[in-house]
Amino acid sequence: MLLDHLQAKLDAIRAQDLTRFTRIAETGTAPRQTVRGADGVARELTMFCSNDYLGLAAHPAVTAALVEGAQVYGGGSGASPLVSGHSRAHHDVEALLGRWFEPHIPEARAIGFCTGYMANLAVVAALGDADAEIFSETLNHASLIDGTRLAKAKVSRYAHCDVEDLRARLAASTARIKLIVTDAVFSMDGDIAPLPALLQAAEDFDAWLIVDDAHGLGVLGETGVGTLEHFRLRSERLILMGTLGKAAGLAGAFVVAHRTITDYLLQAARNYIFSTASPPAVEHALLTSLALIRGEVGAQRRASLRALQARLRAGIGALLDRHPTLTWKLADSQTPIQPLIVGGNAEVMALAAALEREGLRVPGIRPPTVPKGEARLRITLCATHTEADVDRLLAALEACA
């Protein structure tokens, strides 16, 4: 019977300390948030877990634009983009993002999606047809992996950041179309993919490079355009997916690429064609949040973020020096994602629970999201954290060490 079958699976998950559950956030996204835990008690916690890296979700100009957008457009979009859901605001966001990426991708055009998960399924499945071979990085996000499952293309997985492994696979391939697929910033490790070397491989082997910049957009590059700006890349072979629910503080995603590619996605991407377009008010507000990213607010917040990262890394480094027998390891990351690798599942969850008793929410990440034996605290920083917030986290970690 189905219920017994599923209960047995749930019991097996629990036996491995892998049960997941949601908590109810009673207040909006911000470094301090009131959250109701599994025990039903609401507490104010300092959050080191959101991907709202620039703190734009709570920026007054973004909220005001959302209200204004709702006054102009009302609620939902009512239909998929090709029917009647594509508003003036949707069009303007795509046009703006196309201009952002023009310095990096000749003939750049953007096409919007409701979520990054959808955008990744769309681009990988639509381009990865039977004529193609996909070269997928081992630590890619689940949505890219699911895209390869939907694709008709043959799939070859190359080792993490291992350009030589990739080049050998490209050299051995006889596929007419070759697609390299990678996260730009790895979401559970915080490290940055070697995009210049990957692009060189694409050029040498007549391949295309699909880059998921969910965690780079807004954060990396002098003006927040992301990882392509960080490395100053420019090539027609670049196909970039960006999300708008992380540093942009709202929701949605886009693919930006040479116009022939986005023209094709509009004809062929099933999750673009068969899904209701995002609410126009959200798109209207995105015009404000994207302007903030590239303006003075974005520049200041990126600088704060870098200073907080340096403070946290120095503090954890000193802590590990004081406790040489600890097996914790701080991942080598230059981004706001700062994972502290602890090891066992129960161990990481006990540490996360101890921090939570101190009023600090740092999620424990376990397999299958990360490899077995590499369970970790995934600390993420936002520009709106204070130095005192970071110091409290360091003190609480010291007490647990």
Ligand X SMILES: *Cc1c(COP(=O)(O)O)cnc(C)c1O
> What positions carry a catalytic annotation?
187, 215, 246
* Residue closer to ligand X (CB basis): 283 or 315: 283
Q: How many CB atoms lie within 10 A of CB 222?
A: 11
Q: Does 374 bind ligand X (CB under 6 A)?
A: no
Q: Which of 187, 227, 278, 384 binds ligand X (CB under 6 A)?
A: 187
Peptide bond into 368 cis (omega under 30): yes
b (16+ CB within 10 A) / e for 285-294: bbebbbebbb
Q: Taking the complex as a whole, how short is the minimal distance between the CB of residue 43 and ligand X, in angstroms?
A: 26
Size of the site for ligand X (CB under 6 A): 14
Q: Give CA–CA dist 247/260, Å, rounded.
A: 28
* Residue closer to ligand X (CB basis): 109 or 215: 215
Q: Is 148 annotated as a binding residue?
A: no
Q: Six-digit token pair at 191?
A: 């490290």
Q: Which of 139, 193, 214, 281 binds ligand X (CB under 6 A)?
A: 214
Q: Is 218 annotated as a binding residue?
A: no
Q: Where are the beta strands (DSSP E) in 264-323?
A: none
Q: Which of 53, 73, 100, 117 binds ligand X (CB under 6 A)?
A: 117
Q: Is 323 annotated as a binding residue?
A: no
Q: Is 272 annotated as a binding residue?
A: no
Give the residue at shortest CB distance from ligand X: 116
Q: How many CB atoms lie within 10 A of CB 317?
A: 11
Q: Is 369 annotated as a binding residue?
A: yes
Q: Does 248 bind ligand X (CB under 6 A)?
A: no
* Residue closer to ligand X (CB basis): 98 or 245: 245
Q: Give CA–CA dist 38/209, Å, rounded.
A: 42
Q: Is 141 annotated as a binding residue?
A: yes
| Beta bridge pairs of residue 78 | none
Q: Does 253 bind ligand X (CB under 6 A)?
A: yes
Q: Taking the complex as a whole, how short is the minimal distance between the CB of residue 139 and ligand X, in angstroms?
A: 10
* Residue closer to ligand X (CB basis): 108 or 217: 217
Q: What angle do CA 189, 100, 289 make, to 5 degrees?
A: 75
Q: Taking the complex as a whole, how short is the minimal distance between the CB of residue 114 and ligand X, in angstroms?
A: 8
Q: Taking the complex as a whole, how short is the minimal distance between the CB of residue 212 and ligand X, in angstroms?
A: 5
Q: Which of 320, 314, 318 is nearest to 342 (CA)?
A: 320
Q: Give CA–CA dist 248/290, Å, rounded.
A: 7
Q: Does 120 bind ligand X (CB under 6 A)?
A: yes
Q: Taking the complex as a whole, how short is the minimal distance between the CB of residue 143 and ligand X, in angstroms?
A: 5
Contact 357/280 with Cβ under 8 angstroms? Answer: no
**Choices 3-11, 112-120, 228-236, 292-300; region in contact with ligand X by CB under 6 A:** 112-120
Interface positions, 343-362, toward ligand X (CB under 6 A): none
**Choices 15-23, 26-34, 111-119, 121-129; region in contact with ligand X by CB under 6 A:** 111-119
- Counting Cβ atoms within 10 Å, is residue 14 exposed (0-12), middle (13-18) or buried (19+)? exposed
Q: Does 87 bind ligand X (CB under 6 A)?
A: no
Instruction: Name residues whose C-beta falls within 8 Å of residue 193's C-beta, 6 or more positions apart in sequence.
Output: 137, 161, 182, 183, 184, 185, 186, 211, 227
Q: Which of 299, 342, 315 is nearest to 54 (CA)?
A: 299
Q: Taking the complex as a whole, how short is the minimal distance between the CB of residue 311 and ligand X, in angstroms?
A: 24
Q: Taking the complex as a whole, how short is the minimal distance between the CB of residue 124 and ligand X, in angstroms?
A: 11
Q: Give CA–CA dist 229/223, Å, rounded.
A: 8
x/- letters, 136..175, toward ligand X (CB under 6 A): -----x-x--------------------------------
**Choices 5-13, 86-94, 109-117, 380-388; region in contact with ligand X by CB under 6 A:** 109-117
* Residue closer to ligand X (CB basis): 143 or 262: 143
Instruction: Name residues whose C-beta falls within 8 Å of residue 14's C-beta, 6 or more positions apart in sequence.
Output: none
- Counting Cβ atoms within 10 Å, is residue 164 exposed (0-12), middle (13-18) or buried (19+)? exposed
Q: If DSSP states are collapsed to H, E and C, what string results for 172-212? A: HCCCCEEEEEEECECCCCCCECCHHHHHHHHHHCCEEEEEE
Q: Known binding site for pyridoxal 5'-phosphate: residues?
A: 116-117, 187, 215, 243
Point out which residues bind ligand X (CB under 6 A). 115-117, 120, 141, 143, 183, 187, 212, 214-215, 243, 245, 253
Residues placed in the known binding site for substrate: 20, 141, 369
